[in-house]
């Protein structure tokens, strides 16, 4: 840890992520309530990202006409974070196949992102990844999305699914020690797209090969008769 570009900030984050006492400390988030809300437009962002080994400016406008999974994580060179990023990267082609992009965000600089990408996976690095990492060095994106912990100055594990019109369809937040399920994120995107295309609604644990419900009394009766035989 001492060799990472974060220095003391990583040591501080390590204590937060692993110490039960600190995990129970009441750090306040950046707003009294959520900044974004489901069914409302996502907060605009613009920042430098690292993608395919290059620095580039990236904004919410770049994803008009596509679904976007925007996920926040606490810090580079930590523990759970690389497992999430690599898992999203490994599924990048599956997201692309359904017109969806994935972007990771942390409060690190783009230089630190690049250093982490250039670190071998066996050494805790990311290696070659297929998704961009956005640098939220001034913490504004995390603050705008309502998931910044002001005390330690890092983001909770927030995840937002944004539709092609820029509207938030889903948001969830994990506490720092627990990672997210990429397959569940894929399932949710597919479900929202199915509803948008077909006008039917998706029941619990829906997958693309399972039945949906026509949102009418007759349609719901037909569904329940089918699944309860």
Query: What positions carry a catalytic annotation?
Result: 81
**SS3 for the chain, per residue?**
CCCCCCCHHHHHHHHHHHCHHHHCCCCCECCCCCCCCCCCECCCCEEEEEECCEEEEEEHHHHCCCEEEEEECCCCCCCHHHHHHHHHHHCHHHHHHCCEEEEEEECCCHHHHHHHHCCCHHHCCCCCCCCCEEECCCCHHHHHCCCEECCCCEECEEEEEECCCCEEEEEEEECCCCCCCHHHHHHHHHHHHHHHHHCCECCCCCCCCCCCECCCHHHHHHHHHHHCC
């Amino acid at each position: 840890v001492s060799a990472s570009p974060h220095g003391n900030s990583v040591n501080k984050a390590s204590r937060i992520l692993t110490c039960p006492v600190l995990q129970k400390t009441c750090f306040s988030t950046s707003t009294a309530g959520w900044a974004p809300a489901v069914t409302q437009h996502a907060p605009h962002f613009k920042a430098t990202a690292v993608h395919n080994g290059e620095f580039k400016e990236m904004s919410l406008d770049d994803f008009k006409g596509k679904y976007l999974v925007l996920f926040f994580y606490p810090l580079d060179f930590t523990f759970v974070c690389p497992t999430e990023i690599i898992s999203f990267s490994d599924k990048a082609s599956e997201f692309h196949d359904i017109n969806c992009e994935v972007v990771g965000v942390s409060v690190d600089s783009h230089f630190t992102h690049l250093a982490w990408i250039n670190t071998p996976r066996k050494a805790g690095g990311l290696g070659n990844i297929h998704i961009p990492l956005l640098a939220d060095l001034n913490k504004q994106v995390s603050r705008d999305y309502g998931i910044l912990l002001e005390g330690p100055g890092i983001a909770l594990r927030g995840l937002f699914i944004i539709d092609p019109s820029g509207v938030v369809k889903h948001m969830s937040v994990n506490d720092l020690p627990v990672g997210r399920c990429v397959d569940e994120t894929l399932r949710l995107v597919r479900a929202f797209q199915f509803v948008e295309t077909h006008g039917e609604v998706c029941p619990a644990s829906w997958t693309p090969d399972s039945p949906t419900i026509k949102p009418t009394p007759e349609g719901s009766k037909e569904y329940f008769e089918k699944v309860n035989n």
